[in-house]
Structure 1
């Protein structure tokens, strides 16, 4: 795709632009909606192939592939009245908004594909879940780090729920740092150590030959410190609570 449009340039929209334009090879033309003036102005100044449009209709008209990344609650105001020709391809990255809902809003027969791009697409290092599979969309996200097409929106929603755990992970790390600081460790030293500790975990995750259960076992000594924290803090009750929170989120996404 040579012409990409993005309606809603928040964190994910910005990450997509950076991933497209900072990579090797020729970058596509990118057309941005005007909302979020500071972000879109910065991107258009940074990249010569990025342009800010007067309105969302211009984004659609000038693009072959249109990414809709507005917040769920803002979709009707942002998309009302848009005319989307059937030869366009629309990528829906709005959490909790199904393709049937979006098709009704847009009143178009254009192909609609849901996707879950993550901020790491800016570095072209993130697998993006899509539904349904579409060759042009698959190629687009393959360029940004990889693609995982799924068969139906029920499966897609499960993956969408999993992404809801990201900030919990960051808060967990922040809690570890605060605990160490409370025991007299310099805040900068605690932050540095926790980051380094879990960056090493991230590198271990790159070993696809070992399951997640095996990785946990390989990092745990019987009756050791890791086993103690896992069995006393992340025991059956916490595991059940996490499963319930995910089930509740999944129900809302449906």
Structure 2
């Protein structure tokens, strides 16, 4: 059976472990680095078959599929001196660290796959972008919500840039909540209502039979409230500003 090693047990590392254990029976053994010691210890205490290793090399030695999830600025120091045999499969989930840079750091001939798992992987709802396609890695992420292999690094970077919009979405919802509170709605009631509105939107996204444009149209009536906000706030200038922000991020990622 596959043995999973995770070096860097932060939010994504935790979500991977929780997603694996949410699958029920037949979950692989998981070996965690002591980096992120509190989280690693908590996960090992909660789940059978999850262990904290003595050091990062111990993780490499025990795992068949190795997930590298340390922070970009820390990766050279964290991975210095590691010996990664060619029969391991390495999954690089570090934003801004390409596979060639990681290969130079690790000095390994092992296959490297870049991936973008999101925290929703804990609920097995994360569509994980991978490059290049690799049978073992594709199957691993299919079991955690889905895998989306892309043909090249350029496509990977475009989808990576899209993940940079997530917290802007939360900030948008927080702005709506603050606006309502400023007009006399209790903050808790305002937040509860906004959450309910957009949880419904999230569920509608599961309807793959309708395009995003179709979903927008189905939520609008001519000259209605939704059309008014879309056309007066999210106008051409606003859309262009978003496009420019994404272009700038893509340039840095590339």
TM-score range, shorter chain: over 0.9
Q: How does 1:182-197 map to 2 (within 5 A)?
A: 182-197=182-197
Q: Per-residue CA shift, 1:83-118, capped at 9, x if unaligned?
A: 000000000000111111111111111000000001
Rounded to whole Å, the distance in 1 between the matches of 2:147 and 2:36 is 28
The residue number in structure 1 matching 2:64 is: 64
Cα distance in 2 for residues equivalent to 1:9 and 1:188: 33
Runs of 4+, deviation exceeding 4 Å: none
Deviation at 1:43, TM superposition (A): 0.3
Q: Is structure 2 residue 147 aligned with structure 1 residue 147?
A: yes
Aligned to 1:252: 252
CA drift of 1:23 comes to 1.6
How far apart, CA to CA, are the structure 1 residues paired with 2:252 and 2:80? Answer: 24
| Unmatched runs of 5 consecutive residues or more in structure 2 | none
2:113 paired with 1:113: yes
Q: Tell me the equivalent position of 1:25.
A: 25
Q: Which residue of 2 aligns with 1:159?
A: 159
> Secondary structure of 2:17's partner?
helix
1:222, distance to aligned residue in structure 2 (A)? 1.2
Cα deviation for residue 54 of structure 1 reads 1.1
The answer on 1:47 being equivalent to 2:47 is yes
Q: Does 1:101 align with 2:98?
A: no
Looking at structure 2, the residues matched to 61 and 77 of structure 1 have their Cα atoms a distance apart, in angstroms, of 19
- The equivalences for 1:235-246 within 5 A come to 235-246=235-246
Is 1:122–2:122 an aligned residue pair?
A: yes
If the length of structure 1 is used for normalisation, what is the TM-score?
Answer: 0.98
Secondary structure at 1:156 match in 2:
helix
Output the CA distance in 2 between the equivalents of 1:57 and 1:24: 28
TM-score, normalised to structure 2's length? 0.98
Instruction: State the aligned residue count.
Output: 254
Taking the aligned partners of 1:88 and 1:140, their CA distance within structure 2 comes to 14
**Cα distance in 2 for residues equivalent to 1:236 and 1:223:** 18
Cα deviation, residue 27, structure 1: 1.3
**Hey, what does 1:229 align to over in structure 2?**
229
Question: 1:22: how far off?
Answer: 2.3
Report the secondary structure of 1:6's partner residue: strand
The 3-state SS of whatever aligns with 1:25 is coil
What residue is the counterpart of 1:8 in the other structure? 8
Secondary structure of the corresponding residue to residue 51 of structure 1 = strand
Counterpart for residue 74 of structure 2? 74
Rounded Cα–Cα distance in structure 2 between residues aligned with 1:21 and 1:203: 24
What is the distance in 2 between the residues matched to 1:185 and 1:165? 28
State the Cα distance separating 1:25 from its structure 2 match: 1.7
In the TM superposition, what is the alpha-carbon distance from 1:2 to its structure 2 partner?
A: 2.2
